[in-house]
Chains A and B, each alone.
Chain A
Amino acid sequence: MIVGEKYSHKHRTEPPGSRQGPYGVGRYAAGLRDFLRERPRVQLFGEVWNLRLSRAKVYLELRDAEGALPCSIWRNDFDALRLGEGALADGAQVVVAGGLDYYAGSRTSSPSFTFAVSGLRVAGEGDLLAQLDRLRKTLDGEGLFALQKRLARRTLPRTIGVVTGESGKARDDVIAGLRRRGWQGRLVWAFAPVQDRHAAPRITAALQDLAATGEVDVIVVARGGGSLADLFCFCDETLCRTVALLGVPVIASVGHHTDRTLIDDVAALACSTPTHAAESAVPVHCAEARAEVLAVAGRLSVHARRALLHRAQALGRLSRAPGEHVAGERRRLHQRMREIRAAGRRRVEHERGRSRRKALVLDRKARAGAGDARGAAQLNALAMALAAHDPDRALERGYALVTDRDGEVVTSASAARATGDVRLRFGDGVVGATITDDDDRA
């Protein structure tokens, strides 16, 4: 097959001169038609655009963020769908079943490529949710859900940007929420369609423009409730990536919590109502905050006064301190002097008594010493007298003491004769002697 071979090698770089053909274009176009018709039949999901009804066929384009495909359905088949008035209009999300087809044209008619639709239904929630789930996982996997949540949100923004529909009720709800907070700053409206296929690019542009001013502190994206199909523009991948990467915090309030769109996931905060979103944009109640600031100012004044009072008291204490110190020292000195005087007197009395006692002792000792000298002299005299009368001293000088045998002193010659035998005691010993009657005294 010519077309099949060419298709399978379409990306190959072929050397010059190696190309097949030339073929007749009609034959090639017919081969292309056959090739496309042999492709597997599939179901496609997308948004209807450029819907045109003709007598024989209904033409439309099926689009999404990544591409588009021309589609056609025979008018009889289309009418048999019984979709109802207005059910299929530009912006509708549909699921089509069919396969590729190619009208080869002719010498007098133009060729055309189409996706031949054999079945079509307006997309149900299940289709949308499946698509949403895939995209949610992709964005979450890239970490895009966390970026906005890391941004610091001001508790008292001066300028708030709001992206919403110009005629929607969400606009009034945002103002009501801000009034409830007592906030009366600058509100910048960036109106954009909030439904259909035009919405996502316009909302994206509005967000980028608001952030680009550098004036807004926070952006509220608000839309009232609706079906998931109505809110599907807030699941647009480009819009959600833009929000995730925006440097200004975005508070989303799209539909209700039961209809969680992707912008709710990527935004800094998701609220159930525009009123709640507005209140979240201004976390503080301005009137209460003013009262709190006044209270803080009052407490600061109290602390300052108290501190000054304490300082004055401290200074007063310090100024009095030297005089009190001197007086105290004077009192202490007087007390010391009294103590010293008393101690002196006590000491003098003590020393006086002690001296008296010593004098008395000395006196007694002196008297006692004088008595001893006199006694000694008398004793010496007596000793000398005794020594003078000591018979031993006479014996030492050559005298002899005559005693009888019993030791009685013989003091006369007659006694000696009477005794007969006597004993003579000399200084160095005793000898016996016999008295004779010879008288040599003549």
Chain B
Amino acid sequence: MTVPEPPGERLTYEAATARLEEIIKRLDSGEAGLRETLELCREGRTLVELCAAELEAVGRGLEELRLDDLVARLQAGAGD
């Protein structure tokens, strides 16, 4: 079972980690069958990749900018 995700929104880090905890708990219980185990592992690997990507996004170095710069950047992006 996967966490219901609002349409059009990416899964958040906290939702991904919460789901990962569920998956590990289920796998550790030993109650999952072979098919479910493999499906949970596959889903878990996807979530791990998502979490790693989120952590990577906040690990490349602090980027500081003023609000005006952000607004200008967004406007420039919208104009392209």
Interface on A for B, CB 8 Å cutoff?
154-158, 161, 175, 178-179, 182-191, 206, 209-210, 213, 215, 282, 286, 289-290, 293, 296-297, 299-301, 303-304, 307-308, 310-311, 314
Contact = CB atoms under 8 A, between A and B. Distances in A.
A184 B61 contact: yes
Contact of A189 (B45, B55, B59, B65): B65
Contacts of B57: 158, 185
B76 interface: no
Contacts of A301: 41
Given A184-B59, A209-B71, A215-B70, A310 B34 contact: yes
Contacts of B37: 303-304, 307
A191 B27 CA distance: 49
Contacts of B44: 296, 300
Q: Which residue, B24, B57, B70, has most C-beta atoms of chain A within 10 A? A: B70
Contacts, number: 104
14 contacts: A154-B14, A183-B58, A185-B57, A185-B58, A187-B62, A188-B70, A189-B65, A191-B66, A286-B59, A296-B44, A299-B24, A300-B41, A300-B45, A303-B37
A293 B58 contact: no
A161 B48 contact: no
A282 B65 CA distance: 18
Contacts of B60: 184
Given A156-B13, A215-B74, A307 B63 contact: no
Contacts of A183: 58, 62
Contacts of A286: 55, 58-59
Interface in B45-80: 45, 48, 51-52, 54-55, 57-67, 70-71, 74
A187 B63 contact: yes
Nearest to B47: A296
Contacts of B38: 304, 307-308
Contacts of A185: 57-58, 62-63
Contact of B34 (A187, A300, A307): A307
A296 B58 contact: no
Nearest to B34: A311
B8 to A, nearest CB: 13
B70 A158 contact: no
B45 A297 contact: yes
A156 B14 contact: yes
Given A184-B62, A185-B57, A213-B74, A300 B48 contact: yes
Contact of B12 (A154, A213, A293, A310): A154
A184 B59 CA distance: 5
Nearest to B60: A184
Contacts of B62: 175, 178-179, 183-185, 187
A142 B74 CA distance: 35
Nearest to A296: B20
A175 B61 CA distance: 12
Contacts of A311: 34
B74 to A, nearest CB: 6
A186 B65 contact: yes
Q: Which residue, B40, B55, B57, B66, has most C-beta atoms of chain A within 10 A? A: B55
A182 B64 CA distance: 15
Nearest to B69: A188
Contacts of B63: 184-187
A154 B64 contact: no
A213 B70 CA distance: 8
- Can you list the 9 inter-chain pairs with the closest CB atoms, starting with the nearest? A185-B58, A304-B41, A156-B13, A307-B37, A190-B67, A155-B14, A300-B44, A303-B27, A186-B63
Contacts of B64: 187, 189
B58 A184 contact: yes
B41 A296 contact: no
A156 B58 contact: yes
B58 to A, nearest CB: 4
Given A186-B65, A190-B67, A311-B34, A158 B12 contact: no
